Structure 1
Amino acid sequence: MISRSDPVMLMILLIASTFRQGLTMVSYGTDFITAFPENVGYFYPNISTRILRITALHNDTTFTVHFNGTQTPSSVLRSGQTVKLSFPKTAEVHRLNYSSNSIRITSVKDIVVHSFSQTDIGTATTPEKSVQSHVVQPITNLGTSYLIPSLNQSDLIQTFSGSPAPFWSQRYSSFKLIIINAEDTENTVKLVKGMSERFQEDLKILPYQLIQLQVNDSLKMVESSHKVAVILTHPCLEITCKCNMIVNQILPTQFQGQNFVVPYIPGITLSRLLMTSNDMSTSLSHNNIQLQPSPSGFLSLSDQTKSQYVKASGNVSLTLIRPGLIFEVMPENMFAACYLLQFYSDIKKALVIAETASKNNVHTQNSPVTDTQWTEITGTKYSSAEISFSEFTIVIWHPTSKIAVYLLEISGTTVYGGPAIPINTEPDEFDCVVIPGHYEVGNDRLSWAESLAHCTSLEQHLACPTSEDIQKKLSGKVNSTEEEAWIGLRRSLITTDWYWQRQTPSTPSLPSSSVDYVHWADGHPEENFRGLCASLSLNEKDEFKWKSAKCCEKKRPVCYKPSISFYPLPSDTTSSASFEFF
């Protein structure tokens, strides 16, 4: 339980917890549950939209939408295909108390679910929108214990706008909490209240139902007997004379870290940092200087025109915030190799942080990023860049190192964004992958040509450690023995050059590739063309070094099963469906 005695840290905790989108290692799965909170500019006549976008990560994917006692199966999706589901206004959770308005999505294979809500609140001459989007976390990322921020709406509005909050009816004067039972069993939910004297209120929630509560200063934690989804929301928070919906799916605190690259958001100044931690003694520093929070709890960086590196003394969550713009900062340990970006507005950008030495190897779809202005981040190994897109769905990935990717959207004067969706945490030299490749050593001793045929018959190819990273992965996947095994490296009789040979039944014409990285043992490759093929020592003591050998020698093959890649299909393949459930 977090102590609430320090008002400065309390404010940091409250605001950061309120707006954090939540970070996970991967955000795909086969079982999701969510709800559409109320999104309304109550003094405007408005047109509203509620959309779930479901993207399949594998071929032959079918999913089912469960809503209000009805099940609707989908057609079969291909890998990378997106379906857009529209829901009626009645799908929103308007009233307090229990409701059956939860939306559950189940699938036979991994999918990503993204939620979008928009209400037009302006006029023909001054169009404005209350917009909110967020990643729907799979049930595997949910938990049974959540810390709930004690929110004072007036203080929050004054923090952002510098002026007191207007007088509203009770309906719009505080935040709400939606608790969704994520399991097919009755769930006992405890609302832990009080500060110095704790007491609790017990609720019973039926399978996959939800309850919406008015949030007040007494509610501190939600604990449940089974997994729940917890959404903190406000239907119409007025900031600078503008109505903004707020949605935050609260997540467990294990998604924290100690080292952060705080991104510079182009065109945005006067932003602040907000830190939250279970340990009240945790501090944040930049360039070895401890950052001091203001009375309102904000932490300031000296230069807000560039990305900067900050460290925490313990595990924390870090939020970059300004009125109308909330960015959860990824801890360095949560960087990933591949991200899915899903946009909705006309102005679509990505903020990318990559290692300076390999920044030019960042890919979008299947091509390296070009014509990009990178800026080195002082005192770190990283550089940052801003990339604009025309596509509404795209992947960004790196073949050899982990990166951070944020999306940024602009709709009218509304700016919103946050971390992109992590699809894969480990780099792959060829693609953005959803199923990593793997190595296996054959049992039989064969010639090099026989080994190549053996791997091909298994829909695999001879292992090709074309970089130091791949060599390390290969070394870590095979058992150490005194033997040697064939790899996909051989010498050309025509040019005398070494080259990599990859071939599978599905890619029989995959071109050979030149050799840029080698790991030869002393005395190898042998001179005078005595060995035209290459083997790898399976002995850890020999550091898995390579040796040249005669191709007719009998050795065990090291086969590699290629990874399964993921790319979003073009936007014209996106299908739409309306769910008119009542």
Structure 2
Amino acid sequence: MFAILLTVSMFSQGFTMVSYGKSFITAFPEDLGYFYSNTSSRLKVTALYDGTSVDIFYNGSSTPTETISNILKGQTVTVVFSKSAEVYQLDYSTQSIRITSNKYIVVHSFSSTNFTITAISAQTNIVQPDENLGMNYLIPSLNYTTFLTTFGISQSTSWSPKYNSFRLIIINAKDTENNITIVKNISAQIQLVNFTIPSYQLIQLQADDSMMMVNSSHKIAVLLTHPCLDRTNYTCSMIINQILPVRFQGQNFVVPFVRGITQRQLFMTSNDKADLLSQYNTSLTPSSSGYLSLPDLNTRYVTASSNVSLKLIIPGLFIELIPENQFAACYMMPFYSNYQWAVVITKTDSRDQVRIGTAPFINPVWLEISNTQYSKTEIFLSRQLIVIWHPSSKIAVYVVETIGNTVFGGPAIPINEQPDPNGCMTPGEFVVGDQPLKWTESLAYCTNTQSQFACPINEDVQIEFIKQVNTKNVEGWIGLRRSLMTTAWYWQTNTTSASSSVNYIYWANGQPQDNTTELCASLSLNHTDDFKWKSAKCCEKKLPVCYKQPQILLPLTMSSTVYIP
């Protein structure tokens, strides 16, 4: 047990998360909300660059079930799935959904029943890219009967026993067999449950308060769900919460007020059961079952004694709270109803700088959060896809929607980690040309395509390059060459820029060659060669590798829909 806990603690330091990527995996849990109504399951895929192509792999297919080509920057495509996409069995399944793309995208999930004005089961969920998945997850120790008792809800006597507990869906995110270990605490005794999941498949298990953590040999996605979470007045709504790996935990949280909610509880998940929460140096004592009742509906600031995850739990809705160390600079918000608003938390001294799209907020009503540096506002929104950002400070944004008496939503989608005064920016884009050219021709090619030579001047840029570029068993030119006069290497981004010295190197073994005939630098475009650099003769023909500067992201109103039976 000590070894398992130690592994968790090693990966729990945390860093800001962005939710774009080029590879995603998810599933649609069973939705019985409002008792077997017809349901709708869909993914919203938004491109961050022009010329984006997306492949959808469904139900164990090794070839794309659907391909969507030529998506524009800021354009959203809705992918609608049939009822058969829902994972209803407690066992292994091939019903995972994989999304891959040639360029960065964000993916948002929405499940609902066909609704009337007063009756709907609805849940949204950010589908995390593979980069944000992990191999160590702490599981909330939730007991369904205790949950109902906490909120004063009478449990239905007609349900099958399989509906009287939460569920855990574990999805293998890798094309290889994945070894899974579930750690349970049963009567103060640690028990390990071991099994394997085949490539890209999943398993759904009943979850209870004995589950502590899930460890794996390769990356997995973990969903906490219930097909029909009871609410008052004998209604129910499916819930879904994608659990984040332990490295995304934090210590300080701003707990927002959520419009339309009269009951709420906090639930903390941590590696150490002795962890405590406090507010303004006053300890907050949870109940014996772990729930922490909030005496009022005010926004508040709470601190944990170590890194934890914190959920705001409401009948029919779990909201994963954004820890202070995970605040970001720009968020995207897709919407699904006509009544939607954003909850924005920002530093008080710069709150007037918050922007929505290209404009400032119009007459926001700010509420300072006592004894903190933060203020909070709510803003009603009428557009279907927007961005909210701050030019100089990190913020937190939640999106909340209502249909009838149903409230759903959660954290908005973080796009930019660091503030940028220009706006909500797409990541810089690396582009590899199609035709081999000489080094000088490659420099001209990049300039003529409104970009510059790729210059991995530090480790961060090199890593970003590796993440973006698709594997090719060829070599490409970069903006690195050697001076004829001094033989020193320097960076050159275009024909007019000043040269710059080289402070970071990533040469392959034995490189660069120590001669004056190999004056230019290329890199391998193959993952197996680790994208290492090498010197080469400038007259050789290789693919040009260009870099397009980050651009302002403005979501487009145009959209399209595809259907997968």
Aligned to 2:162: 171
* Equivalent residue letter for 2:249: Q
| Counterpart pick for 1:118 among 100, 112, 117 | 112
Question: Matches of 1:56 and 1:81 in 2, distance apart?
Answer: 6
Contact 2:342 2:379 in 1 (8 A): yes
| Partner in structure 1 of residue 229 of structure 2 | 237
Q: Following the alignment from structure 2 to structure 1, what is the Cα–Cα distance between the partners of residues 85 and 262?
A: 37
1:40 positional shift: 1.6
Correspondence for 1:287: 280
| From 90, 93, 97, the counterpart of 2:87 | 93
Distance 1:313 1:197 in 2: 25
Q: Which residue identity does 1:563 align to in structure 2?
A: P
Instruction: List aligned pairs for 1:323-402, cutoff 5 A.
Output: 323-402=315-394
Contact 2:118 2:403 in 1 (8 A): no
Structure number with bigger Rg: 1
Amino acid at match of 2:161: Q
Secondary structure of 1:166's aligned partner: coil
Q: Which residue of 1 aligns with 2:136?
A: 145
Distance across 1 between alignment mates of 2:424 and 2:41: 30
Contact 1:180–1:208, Cα closer than 8 Å, also in 2: yes
Query: 8 Å contact 1:40–1:245 — kept in the other structure?
Result: yes
Q: What is the letter of the counterpart of residue 67 of structure 2?
A: P
Q: How does the TM-score come out when normalised to structure 1?
A: 0.70
Aligned to 2:442: none
Q: 1:176 to 1:288 in 2, by over 3 A?
A: closer
**Is the 8 Å Cα contact of residues 120 and 127 (structure 1) preserved in structure 2?**
no
TM-superposed deviation, 1:300: 4.3
Matched with 2:46 is 55
Whether contact under 8 Å (2:140, 2:269) holds in the other structure is no
User: 1:204 is matched with which residue?
Assistant: 196
Q: Deviations over 1:552-574 (max 9, x none)?
A: xxxxxxxx98532212111xx11
**Partners of 1:315 and 1:128 in 2: CA distance:** 38
Q: Is the 8 A contact 1:291 1:300 kept in 2?
A: no
2:540 is matched with none
Whether 1:263 and 2:256 are equivalent positions in the alignment is yes
Identify the residue that residue 156 of structure 1 maps to in structure 2. Answer: 147
**Matched residue, 2:404:** 412
- 2:153–2:230: 8 Å Cα contact kept in structure 1? no
Contact 2:140/2:268 (<8 A) preserved? no
Q: Aligned runs of 1:351-500 on 2, under 5 Å?
A: 351-435=343-427
Secondary structure at 2:105's aligned position in 1? strand
Aligned residue for 2:78?
A: 84
Unaligned runs of 5+ in 2: 3-13, 430-446, 453-493, 496-500, 502-546
CA RMSD after TM alignment: 3.0
Cα separation, 2, equivalents of 1:238 and 1:301: 21
The reply to whether residue 566 of structure 1 matches residue 542 of structure 2 is no
Note if contact 2:146-2:289 (Cα within 8 Å) is conserved in structure 1: no
Counterpart for residue 472 of structure 2? none
Report how many aligned residue pairs link the two structures. Answer: 443
What is the one-letter code of the residue matched to 1:86?
V
Shift of 1:129: 0.7
Give the CA deviation at 1:79. 0.9
In structure 1, C-alpha distance between the alignment counterparts of 2:227 and 2:112, rounded to whole Å: 11
Distance 1:136 1:562, change over 3 A: closer
The residue identity in structure 2 corresponding to 1:401 is S
* Correspondence list, 1:179-218, <5 A: 179-195=170-186, 196-216=188-208, 218=210
**1:43 Cα deviation after fit:** 4.0
Partner SS for 2:351: helix
Instruction: Give the match for residue 131 of structure 1.
Output: 122
Give per-residue Cα distances to partners, 1:89-144, cap 9 Å, x unaligned: 111112222221111000011111111111136xx6x6401111101111111112
CA 1:192/1:334 → structure 2, altered by over 3 Å: closer, same or farther?
Answer: closer
Q: Distance in 2 between matches of 1:301 and 1:217?
A: 22
Mind listing any 5+ residue stretches in structure 1 that lack a counterpart? 3-21, 438-455, 462-503, 506-537, 539-559
- Kindly state the Cα deviation for residue 267 of structure 1 after the two structures are TM-superposed: 4.7
> In structure 2, what is the Cα distance between the partners aligned to 1:219 and 1:303?
31
Aligned to 1:509: none
- For residue 169 of structure 1, report the CA deviation from its aligned partner: 1.1
Q: Identity percentage over the alignment?
A: 51
Q: Distance in 1 between matches of 2:15 and 2:83?
A: 29
Q: Is the Cα contact below 8 Å between 2:15 and 2:325 reproduced in 1? A: no
Task: Measure the CA separation in 1 of the matches of 2:82 and 2:295.
Answer: 47
Q: Give distance in 2, aligned partners of 1:191 and 1:345.
A: 38
Cα distance change on mapping 1:460 and 1:119 into 2, 3 Å: closer
- TM superposition shift of 1:158: 1.7
Q: Residues 199 and 328 from structure 1, CA distance in 2 versus in 1: closer, same or farther, beyond 3 angstroms?
A: closer
- Verify the 8 A CA contact 1:154 1:165 in the aligned structure 2: no
Measured in 2, the distance between the counterparts of 1:350 and 1:103 equals 29
Shift of 1:343: 1.0
CA–CA distance in structure 2, aligned partners of residues 76 and 145 of structure 1: 37
Secondary structure, in 3 states, of the residue corresponding to 1:378?
Answer: coil
Q: Quick one: which of 206, 214, 221 aligns to 2:213?
A: 221
- Normalising by structure 2, we get a TM-score of 0.72
The SS at the match of 2:147 is helix
- 1 CA distance for matches of 2:261 and 2:162? 33
SS of residue in 1 equivalent to 2:131 = helix
